[in-house]
């Protein structure tokens, strides 16, 4: 008797960072887009982008990159969530007591090493700066000051360059958990993909994960120190790395 094995592929929530994860290799991006378009139709799968960019900066990216319309957009490092039609999730952006933006800005101003990013990237629950690796030693002092003043703020350093101060519990990972339940997906049905420091929280939400081959050292180091998760470190870069991971998890058959 011949035995036939059928891989069970079902409904999937694909959550991916944009810069240097999904975006970076146009040819691979187009191939992944074509595959997901079909998968979405067949299995009612959904797509969420999780980016450090503000909505404005995301819209700028759309002018020169062909991206599928997502079912949700986690923007500004998780501090904002949008649905189709640029509808902001108001409940997610509710103010919280430990977040005093003006106070946090005043604390940050004491550190001359922190160079403010453009206005579009300064958001109600996110302050962003450029910081060189040589100056990154100030981060522990900055953290200590925020704690001393009772600020519920998280510091996220990515790409050896970007320093975000975001509202506690509003990083990409907590936004992911929130949007999973809003869209009706379990952690088991979800796959996250990323390349840098602001993606680390995505990998802590008990979902399967794909780290693309071009990942930055802060994510690689974190991965090595936390090997317990169901995570795949791809060889291929950008969208090709995502496809390699989807193949590893038995979802895609290249």
When asked if residue 204 is in the footprint of Mg ion (CB under 5 A), the reply is no
Closer CB to ligand GLC, residue 163 or residue 246? 163
Binders of ligand GLC among 45-84, rule CB under 6 A? 52-53, 57, 77
Stretch of residues binding Mg ion (CB under 5 A), selected from 27-35, 55-63, 146-154, 196-204: 196-204
In this complex, which beta carbon is closest to ligand GLC, that of residue 158 or of residue 237?
158
Name the residue among 59, 67, 61, 79 with its Cα closest to residue 30.
67
- What is the rounded end-to-end Cα distance, in angstroms, of the chain? 28
218 binds Mg ion (CB under 5 A): no
For the segment 186-225, give every residue that binds ligand GLC (CB under 6 A).
198
17 binds, among Mg ion, ligand GLC, none (CB under 5 to 8 A by kind): Mg ion
Determine how many CB atoms are found less than 10 A away from the CB of residue 152: 16
Which pair of tokens denotes residue 139?
């981060």
3-state DSSP assignment of residue 75: strand
| Binding-site partner at residue 20 among Mg ion, ligand GLC, none, CB < 5 to 8 Å by type | Mg ion
Is residue 84 within 8 Å of residue 71, measured between CB atoms?
yes
Q: What number of other Cβ atoms are within 10 A of residue 120's Cβ?
A: 14
- Name the one range near Mg ion by CB under 5 A: 9-17, 115-123, 132-140, 225-233: 9-17
Q: Which of 89, 121, 154, 218 binds ligand GLC (CB under 6 A)?
A: 121
Binder of Mg ion out of 12, 13, 15, 17 (CB under 5 A): 17
CA separation, residue 164 to residues 17, 104, 118 (Å): 16, 12, 13
Least distance from C-beta 211 to Mg ion, angstroms?
11
Judged by CB under 6 A, the number of residues near ligand GLC is 11
Stretch that binds Mg ion, among 168-176, 192-200, 207-215, 220-228 (CB under 5 A): 192-200
Q: Please identify, using beta-carbon distances, which residue of 19 and 154 lies nearer to Mg ion.
A: 19
Rg (CA), the chain: 19
Locate all alpha helices (DSSP H) within the chain, ordered by sequence: 26-43, 55-62, 101-109, 138-148, 172-183, 217-225, 238-248
- Of 16, 20, 190, 201, the residue at the interface with Mg ion (CB under 5 A) is 20
19 binding Mg ion? (CB under 5 A):
yes
Q: What per-residue string of b and e applies to 64-90 under the rule 16 or more CB within 10 Å gives b? A: eeeeeebbbbbbbbbbbbbeeeeeebe
Tokens (6 digits) for 193? 């993909």
Binding interface with Mg ion (CB under 5 A): 17, 19-20, 195-196
Binding interface with ligand GLC (CB under 6 A): 52-53, 57, 77, 117, 121, 128, 158, 162, 164, 198
């Amino acid at each position: 008797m011949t035995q036939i094995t059928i891989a069970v592929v079902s409904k999937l929530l694909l959550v991916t960072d944009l810069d240097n994860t999904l975006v970076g290799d146009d040819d691979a991006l187009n191939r992944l887009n074509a595959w997901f378009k079909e998968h979405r139709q067949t299995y009612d799968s959904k797509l969420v982008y999780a980016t450090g960019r503000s909505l404005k900066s995301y819209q700028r990216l759309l002018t020169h990159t062909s991206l599928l319309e997502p079912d949700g957009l986690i923007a500004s490092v998780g501090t904002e969530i949008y649905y189709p039609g640029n509808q902001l999730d108001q409940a997610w952006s509710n103010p919280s007591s430990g977040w005093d933006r003006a106070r946090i800005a005043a604390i940050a101003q004491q550190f001359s090493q922190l160079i403010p990013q453009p206005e579009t990237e300064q958001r109600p629950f996110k302050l962003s700066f450029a910081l060189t690796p040589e100056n990154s030693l100030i981060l522990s002092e900055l953290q200590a000051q925020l704690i001393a003043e009772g600020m519920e703020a998280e510091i996220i350093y990515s790409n050896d360059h970007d320093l975000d101060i975001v509202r506690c519990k509003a990083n990409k990972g907590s936004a992911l958990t929130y949007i999973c339940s809003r869209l009706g997906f379990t952690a088991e049905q979800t796959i996250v993909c990323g390349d840098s420091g602001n993606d680390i929280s995505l990998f802590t939400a008990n979902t399967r994960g794909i780290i693309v081959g071009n990942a930055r050292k802060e994510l690689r180091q974190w991965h090595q120190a936390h090997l317990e998760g169901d995570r795949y470190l791809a060889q291929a870069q950008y969208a090709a790395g995502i496809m390699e991971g989807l193949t590893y998890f038995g979802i895609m058959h290249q």
